[in-house]
Structure 1
């Protein structure tokens, strides 16, 4: 298990909470999601370190571990955004450890908003850092800011293994049964990419077709 290791100068939390969270990711996730989630934590933590940002490493780690678990059969719902499913799962998990309501909300927000650019970066450090780490791993945001030796060390420990080709189908598999939940989010792009002839709900149409008589 990766907990307790120091990678690129960042120690992966090795508390009981971190260990159990990792076991759940291993049990219900895939190698793709495991490696992505651990890279996300390390990228996020390095960004925090480089900017002298104060954050809770354990909460950031749990947020990273759970952030995509809402895509998995065990945690996904029939009617909620996958981010909300993951956030709910993390909150339920942390409740069993007696984590304070404030910290529960912090982790919930970090996961629920991790695909919300333009919002997450203005919230608490753990929320902003998770969003940053996810974006760096998925679309390369801040790639040139991270020293090459760190990138190489992290991807050696947690390989990408064709991540760019695999992650779009993996995202889609998590919410193909409920494409309506992607309305208003970047995940609508995934549906448009993967479903032939997919018609996104249009906000302007929703305004014009509202029941108000005027």
Structure 2
């Protein structure tokens, strides 16, 4: 798709980025593809706004792979979908002889892209992927984002029935392993779609620990 994006906000024109796009296109859905593209453009714009130094290629790969763990081909039986996507990105980057430090950056960005309160203290690519996802899914930072650029991005990658569709996509990605969502915001999705399902309560888990407490020292 041809867009009028400024050169600073275009998808990196590299072999790595092109192959990441091919994988996303081949295995993902139109909804997740458009979401991933918006996330990259939102994140890179936020990085430029904040005058952050970041690797656009690594950020792009992170955006392209961040939801692939929802797709059956990349989904494990027990891991969080975020970890599945991170592992897929690690395998992809390692096959291209990308240095381990850079691979780890992308892995952390994807694995933590639904974890609030942590990523802002990490590498720019990790922080930006989280903020890009937060803007596209929850509208976090909507008013602070340049309106003209926001409309340009959404026009290029439309939000067709996105609010309903993304929740269904989430559930479809981990319906077979709801326990993997414990302790994450995705537990809410399982409680919404699985009748009678309740995520384990942390206080109950402590109370039922096999350790015996002593009344006195």
TM range (shorter): over 0.9
1:102-141 to 2 correspondence within 5 Å? 102-141=101-140
SS in 1 for 2:73: coil
**CA–CA separation in structure 1 for the residues paired with 2:160 and 2:150:** 14
Larger-gyration structure (1/2) = 2
Corresponding residue of 2:51: 52
Cα deviation code 1:54-103 (max 9, x no counterpart): 00000000000000000001101111000000000000000011111100
SS in 1 for 2:25: helix
**CA–CA separation in structure 1 for the residues paired with 2:74 and 2:29:** 13
What displacement does 1:6 show?
A: 5.3
**What TM-score do the two structures reach when normalised by structure 1?**
0.96
What displacement does 1:147 show?
A: 1.8
Aligned length: 212
**CA–CA separation in structure 2 for the residues paired with 1:90 and 1:75:** 10
Runs of 5+ consecutive residues of structure 2 not aligned to the other structure: none
CA contact (8 A) 1:6 1:12 kept: no
Corresponding residue of 1:94: 93
**CA–CA separation in structure 2 for the residues paired with 1:200 and 1:33:** 26
**CA–CA separation in structure 1 for the residues paired with 2:119 and 2:193:** 27
SS in 2 for 1:7: coil
RMSD of equivalent CA atoms: 1.1
Corresponding residue of 1:7: 5
Runs (4+) of structure 1 exceeding 6 A deviation are none
What displacement does 1:111 show?
A: 0.2
